[in-house]
Amino acid sequence: MFGKGFFQNMENKTGVKMTDVLKLANSFQNANFQDENTIRRVVQEVSAVANKKVSKEMEDQIVQTLLKDSNNINMDTISKMLDQKK
């Protein structure tokens, strides 16, 4: 699907190893996003991989938003929420 060059470029731009991203993505495939503890774990793991601190208030906001609308979760939604922090 994607060549090595694509992943290398992503690693260079983000500083995040693609193996870490793929492991993270695989671990979320069967995650229950209607469970608060699962969502908190996901937020903390993504924060750690991205090396970005997420405040308790931001984590709470993400959790509440995802619990309210768990059927429409996607990376774009999460990305936009994190961008609002800036």
Percent of the chain predicted with pLDDT > 90: 20
> How long, in residues, is the chain?
86
Q: Contact, 51 vs 31, CB < 8 A?
A: no
Average pLDDT on 27-53 reads 87
Cα angle 37-39-45, degrees, rounded to a multiple of 5: 100
Is residue 19 within 8 A of residue 25, CB to CB? The reply is no
Q: Give the mean pLDDT of the chain.
A: 80
Give the mean pLDDT of 5-34.
Answer: 81
Reply yes or no on whether the pLDDT at 83 is more than 70: no
pLDDT number for residue 48? 87
Crossing angle of the two packed helices 18-28 and 36-50, in degrees rounded to 10:
170
Average pLDDT over residues 7-36: 82
Q: What burial class does residue 40 get, using C-beta atoms within 10 Å of its C-beta: 0-12 exposed, 13-18 middle, 19+ buried?
A: middle
Q: Count of CB atoms within 10 A of residue 66's CB?
A: 21
Dump pLDDT digits (tens) for 64-82.
988 887 666 666 666 666 6
pTM for the full predicted model: 0.67
